Structures are given as structure tokens and as C-alpha cells.
Structure 1
Amino acid sequence: MNNLQKIQHVMEFPPAEQQHGFALKLMELLVIPTFVIDASGKVLIWNRACERLTGVPAYEVLGTADHWRSFYSERRPTLADLVIQGRTGEVHALYDQHAHRSEGADNLCAENWCEMPRVGKRRYLAVDASPIYDAEGRLVAVVETLRDMTDEKRAQVALEQLATRDGLTSLANRRCFDDTLAAEWQRALRQQQPLSLLMVDVDNFKQYNDAYGHLGGDECLQRIANAVASEMRANDLVARYGGEEFAVILPNQALKGAAIVAERIRCRVEQLHLPNLGSDAHVVTVSIGAATALPSVDTDPSQLVATADSALYRAKHMGRNRISLPFQEPDTAASRA
């Protein structure tokens, strides 16, 4: 028997019944987590790799439609369920934006975070759902395969944070500030809401650096960053604008509210009691310029930044450790404890 004959002998297929059993056994032993649901949404196959990934043994889900419990705490369809139920149009609402249909096929592909209640760990899964049709073209089952991409996703998030976070303070960096301000400006324009901005500058920071060195200066900036961030709402953004200057974006906040936030920040920094003999208060303080705009098609975010910068300059000119609002006379522009 030559090599070709040997190969042909090995590749000979068993009878139909044996083929079916062989296919089931092959799927059971696949290293890729895989499950199959029938046209009624009940689990036909739950392979060993799926057991390892979810922590759920096959006997708990076979013959049931409870497979969703392996991935979520609250009931929601898996990708295979969307295919079976003809609800593929909902994929973008239920999965991350990576969801898409494969080119030239009926396969549905998506990615999202899953809670994985049994193993107690959130996992980021890439999912493929492939329909199976009978000879008459009827949908009889769907095969769903899963890939654990948690490590890759976390690495991607870490890289994104490096691109948008300041290395010293962990606040948003200048690039993130510019992008966020542009996005919030457009949102405020659509919703006709005010958008406020605070420019916060550390007073006499050069003297502090000279007295305590660069390491002391770095620690000072970190503590101020934490103090400023502690006064923020969930949708506000604090960024390190550059050097010893910080910027705060306050969506849907009028000037009066922005002034209140600014004064809280000023007080919080002063109460850190970081010693600085170069200032009148003998502690590290900040000056803050505030500005508010109601965006229109004839304006842009740079005008808001310029207004806040001018207000900050006035606060510095008037003696530091104070806030300044735009278009105010000097005797009413500053607020000081």
C-alpha cells in the first residue's frame, strides 16, 4: 500500500449513523468553548471547553433554555438566541460596537463583557453564532463558539489609558481634554444646555519646586489632582492641562454652579495645608478662572477656553488664591474665604 492509498484509507468515512456520533464526539472534545441550541432555544450540546469557561457542567443546561445564566446575572439572550428568534437587528443594542455580520454568510459575530456568575469573574468574550439549516432550508439549530479575549481587552484598555491619561496624576491628559471638550460642546449644542469650564493654576509653584525639589513638586501636584477630582460629578472631567495647570469640564452647569464648584476646589486645596512660604497664606493655594457658554453654530470651544483663561489671569493679577468669573468688575469678580 503506497502513501496515497494509506491516506485514502484513513480518510474513508464511516456509515451515516457513525458519522453523526463522530461529529458529536468531535464537538464535545473541541478545545474551543461551544454550545448548540435547537429551534426552540434548548441546549443540545454543551462541550467540555464550555464547561471549563463558564464553570457550568453540561448536565445543568442540556435540554433547557437556561444557558443565559452561565453568562449573565439577569435574563438576556445569547447571540445564538438572537439568531434562533430572528432578532439579529438587536445585536448592536445588546453587544459592543464590534458586533457585525460576517461577509457572505449568515454567521453573526460580536464581542462583549460577560458577568460569568458561576466563576465569579467578568470575561470579555468574542462570540460567533452559526445557523444550521435542514435540506428544506429550515433553521433547525445554531452553533455558538466563544473565545476568551479578556487579557487582550484589558491590554487594549491599558494602552488607551496610556494615550489619554497623564502619567503623573492619572487624570485625563491634554489630548483627552481637547477631545472631550469638543464632544461636550457638540452635545451641549444639540441639547441647548450650558457648558462650563474651570482653569485651575497652582499659585507660586516655582517657589514650591525650588524649596522641595521636583519629587516634592510631583507629590504636590498629585495631591492637588486628587483634591480637585474629589469635587467632581460622574460626568465631569478633570484634566492636567499642562505643568501646574488643571482644567475642569462641567457639562450642563451654569456659571453660578461653576463658581460654587470652583470655590469648593479652592477651599479643598487650601485645606491640604501643604506648606509654601512663597505664598501669603504660607500654604499651597490655587487660582481659578471660570467661564460658561451656551454653544451656538457661530461659536467654538476655543472661545470658552479663552474666556476661562482670561478669568484665571485676573485671579492671578488680583492676588491669587481666589476665583474669578468673566465680565465682572474686580470688586465682585473674586471670591475668597
Structure 2
Amino acid sequence: MIVNLESKENRRGEDRSFNLRKYFSLFSIGIILILTIVLSYVAFWYQKKALIDYSISTVEVMAEHFQNRIYDDFIATSLETYGYLYIGEHSMKSEDLDKIADSYLSLYSDILKFKIFDLSGSVVYSTDPEDVGTVDTSDKLMSALNSRIASKLTKLTMPAKGDAAGNEKSHEIDLLEVYVPIYRDINNPSQSDVIGAFEIDKDIGSFFKLMKSEIYKIPLMLIFSMSVLHMFLQGVVKKADNIISKQKREIERHNAELEEAQKRIKDSIEQVIENGSFHIRVQGTNLIKCWEFKKCKQTDCPGYQSSDLRCWQVAGTFCQGGAQGICVEEYGDCRECEIYQYAFKDRINMIGESFNNMMALLESKHKELGRLNEKLNELVHIDPLTQVGNRRSFQKRMENIHLLAIRYERPYSIILCDVDNFKLYNDTYGHQKGDDILTSIADTMKVSLRKTDEIFRWGGEEFVVILPEQNLSDALRVAENLRATVESLGLEHKSTDSGILTISAGVACNIAENVKYISWETVLKQADDSLYKAKSAGRNRVHPAMSISGTIISENKRA
């Protein structure tokens, strides 16, 4: 099959160049914009997370400091008095706690509120008195009561305040609510010792405003970095575009060479198909006459003065044969030889000579396959001991003989022979001797037949003979001749009355009038029955089958 290696557009030489720099610029600008947006968002998200984590850590330190300050006077006293965390509203302790909390609120302007919860989630103290007694069941508080610090970021609308012009405006703040557990033993905290929790509300809006005011610098830096990278890549792409243009011209040249090589190979394949021979070669333009170049005088070399035979193919470099001629013997591997290298030096000749190597290999394999097929045919159809046809071969040949007899209305006969007392012979002389006897008998009968007659080993010590276009009387004469010839060999068989080896035969004929109606299997069965009768009658004799008219042809016997 021929594979077209180039399109029609290429062959017409149309200019369909791809503007690499244009599309790269558009693509890179799009990538820069997308990366700037994505990276800016990621940077903002990480800054926001870092700010929240920092605020939580500062609140945690503040809560720990606040707990240490109120522990002895408030927490420890409450536990001793009530057994749980309790601070009475409007009590002296509550007033003192307000003073301490106010000192923290005045010191840290971004802290808006303190709350203290007991284990039930009820507010036992708050800088906002309205919160005292309320119950919070949020997940964040429950986490703190289970010894885990939790936080929640919300938006809070602050009450309206008058400005210098007397206008009242409400505003939103970013409120971070941090829940910190309170432990019974502040020196050895554990989950089982949690007695309540702090809620500290911190305004982180000022941090967010600062972060948002500075966030524009990140995309500007990204755009600047990407622009520098873009200019660098533009230079790389320009260089690549020049290389691609050069490669394009090289490809066009190679396409022209491939088209020429394709035409040569196509013509060679058409010759292979037309002539049915693998001995077809593409004519190379770089082929050197090796015997002239090497001053070779080995006239017995098959490649000597040959117009189409390559010396490296003769030497067996590609067909796995033995070294022939002087090329390999003197120069070693043919691929190192200047003749081989010169023949393959350009693309067209490299393709052509590679095709030639493939054809040489196919030709060699084709011949080898033919030899193997002949050998296989012998193994399939020839009996390995006697070198006559085997049972499979007989059946195939018999079918052809029968069809020819039907077509031309001609008779044929079958003789089935058996060596008398062969088992007794094997027992007396051994199986090796028995094999030798079968071979001798087969050779004897084979030379006693006409060229048109065929003998086969039916199995064991039985042989079957096909007699095309022979009637029963002629077949009987042939069978008697075979019997007499074997008897005349005088092969010793001391375990029999005659003292020599003999055969018995049964003969059957399919006459021309009935050949359309009687199968060859039936004729063979008649011959087998006749052989049994010859054996039963005393062996060393020929017995005919019953004729179509129902009479028995007289028995031939050698006393």
C-alpha cells in the first residue's frame, strides 16, 4: 500500500504560513490577565487569612492576660462560693470587673466588647449590660467550651454619629468575634477543666482598609513581571519563528524528495504485482559497482558484474545469510563500507535502497518458505518409515481419482494388501526388523507398479494401491504380480509353514457404469472384505470382490 506523505496543498506550493508571533502575543496577553486576576485574588485571600490569624493570636494573648488578672478575685472566688462561674449583676465584683475591662477597652481601641459565658452558654458578664443573662448556643461558643479557640468574622452596623455638619451617618465595621476557653486551673489547662469562655469582639476594619488600599500593588507587580517575561518570550518566539521558517523550507525540499521516492517505489511495487516476483529493485543513483571500486576478482560472487544485485545483500547483512564473496570477509560489517554509505547518503536513495533491502529479504524468505512448504507437504502426506503416501494422502488422492472417473466415466480399482503373520514376525525377530521388512516390501511393490498406479501405507502392515482406469481383471493381474514378487524375495519367516514372508490381497473395482452411484469408500470396503476372505482362506493369495452382476471372479492362488 502506498501512503501519501504530503497533502495536495503542499504539492501546489500554497503559502499557508502560521503567524506564530501574532497568536503568541494574543495568547500571552490573555494568560497575563488571567494570571494577574487569579494571583491577585489568591494574594488577597492569603493576606486576609494572615490578618485574621494574627488578630486571633493577639486576642488569645489578651484573653489569657485578662484571665490571669481576674482569676483570684473573681473566678477562683466564684468557684469556691458557687462551684461554678457566676458574677452577680450590680455587685461589687461586677463593678470592679467593669473597671478592669474598661482599662483594656481604653488601652486597645479596636476591642469593642468583653463577654464571659458559663458552661450553659449564658452570659454572666459583659461590658454591655444588656447582654447579661442572654444565652448563646452558636457552634463557635460550643467549640470554645470544648477547649478549642474559635472565631467568626461578621459585618456590624454601628449606630449613627453626628459629623461636624450635624449630619448623622451609620457605618459598617468588620467585626472579629473570638471565643477563648476559661480553665479552672490556668497553669494546667485541659478540656475537662473548662468552666466557661470569653468572647472578645475586635474591630479589624482598619486593617482591611489598609490591606485593600495596598492590594493594587500586587497586580501592578504581576503585570510588570509578566510584561518583562512577555518581552523575553517574544524574543524567543521570534527566534523560534525563524527556525520554523527554515524548517518549513527544509520540509518542502524533503517532501519533493519523498514524492520522487514514492513514485519510484510505486512503480517497483506495480512491477512486483504484475510479474509476481520479489526480484524487483528501485534503481538507485548512488550505486557503485563494488567489484570495480574494490578491484575485486572474485568472479564466483553472485554480485559480480550484476546490474541490480547489491553486494551487501549478497553478503547477508539483511537476509541473514552467510558471507558470500569478498566484501564481508575483507571489510566486516557492510554498513561500515563506503559503498553502502554512499548508496544511502541522501533521502531519496535511502528510501529506495531500504525498499530494495526489504525486497531482498522478502525474496529470501519467500524461497525459504517454499522449501519449508515442500518439506511440510512431505511430512503431512508421506509415511516416514516406508516413504510411500500415508493414509491422509490416500484419501485426498482417492477423492480426485473418483471425481475424474465420474467426469470421464472410467473405472478404477483398489488393492488392499496385508503382510501375513506380521505380528508373529515382530515377536520372533523384533520390531526393528519388522520395520525393515515393511520398508523392503514397500520398495518392492512400488517398483512393480506402473507410473500411473500409486501405493500408500494404510496402517500397520497394510498397504493400499490405486489403479486408475483399471477393470477388475487387470487389477487381479496386478495384485497377483505384487503377491508373487514379494514371495520371490524369500524373506525368512521361520514361524510359518512356508518359512518365508508372504502377503495377501483383496481387490475391488468400481466399473464405469456404476461409478456415479458407488463411492470410493464402498469400493475400499469391498477390497477390505476380500482381504479378510483371502486371510481366512489360508493367506498368501488374492481374493476378488463380488462383481456388479453378482458373480464371483475366480480366485488366484499360488500353492
Query: Shift in Å at residue 176 of structure 1?
Result: 1.3
4+ runs of 1 displaced by more than 4 Å? 1-8, 13-16, 52-59, 328-331
SS of equivalent residue, structure 1 residue 193: coil
2: CA distance between counterparts of 1:56 and 1:23?
24
Partner of 1:12: 253
Q: Secondary structure at the match of 1:201?
A: strand
Task: Choose the corresponding residue for 2:554, options 316, 322, 332.
Answer: 332
**Kept after mapping to 1: 8 A contact 2:546/2:553:** no
- Do the aligned partners of 1:169 and 1:225 also contact (CA within 8 Å) in 2? yes
Distance 2:244 2:538 in 1: 93
| Deviation, structure 1 residue 160 | 1.7
Q: Which runs of 5+ in 1 are unaligned?
A: 37-46, 60-144
Would the aligned equivalents of 1:33 and 1:53 in 2 still touch at CA under 8 Å? Answer: no
Partners of 1:56 and 1:234 lie apart in 2 by 45
- Between 1:186-195 and 1:313-322, the stretch displaced more is 313-322
Structure 1 residue aligned with 2:485, among 268, 279, 283? 268
Q: Contact 2:418–2:462 (CA<8 Å) still a contact in 1?
A: yes
Per-residue Cα deviation, 1:12-34 (whole angstroms, up to 9, x for no partner): 26999xx79x969xx8xxxx733
SS of the residue aligned with 1:150? Answer: helix
Is the counterpart of residue 159 in structure 1 residue 159 in structure 2? Answer: no
> Contact (CA 8 Å) 2:413, 2:472: kept in 1 or not?
yes
1:180-259 map, 5 Å:
180-259=397-476
Could you tell me which of 16, 30, 34 is aligned with 2:280? 34
Q: 1:308 aligns with which of 527, 532, 536?
A: 527
Once the two structures are superposed, the pairs formed by residues 272-283 of structure 1 within 5 Å of their partners are: 272-283=489-500
RCO (CA 8 Å, sep 6+): is it higher in 1 or 2?
1
Do structure 1's residue 169 and structure 2's residue 386 form an aligned pair? yes
Distance 1:288 1:15, change over 3 A: closer
Q: Are 2:480 and 2:556, in contact at CA under 8 Å, matched by a contact in 1?
A: no
* 1:155 maps to amino acid: L
Higher helix share: 2
- Inter-partner Cα distance in structure 2 for 1:198 and 1:8: 81
Aligned length: 233
Query: 1:69 matched to which residue of 2?
Result: none
Structure 2 vs 1, CA of residues 7 and 314 (structure 1 numbering), >3 Å: closer, same or farther?
farther
| RMSD (Å), alpha carbons | 3.8
User: SS where residue 417 of structure 2 aligns?
Assistant: strand
Using the alignment, how far apart are the partners of 2:485 and 2:305 within structure 1? 50
TM-score by length of 2: 0.37
Tell me if structure 1 keeps the 8 A contact 2:412–2:467: yes
Aligned ranges 1:40-189 → 2 under 5 Å: 57-58=306-307, 147-148=363-364, 149-189=366-406
SS of match in other structure, 1:162: helix
Deviation at 1:335, TM superposition (A): 2.7
Distance 1:3 1:251, change over 3 A: farther
1:271 CA displacement: 2.1
Percent identity of paired positions between Structure 1 and Structure 2: 31
Q: 1:321 aligns with which of 518, 540, 544?
A: 540
Give the partner amino acid of 1:195. Answer: Y
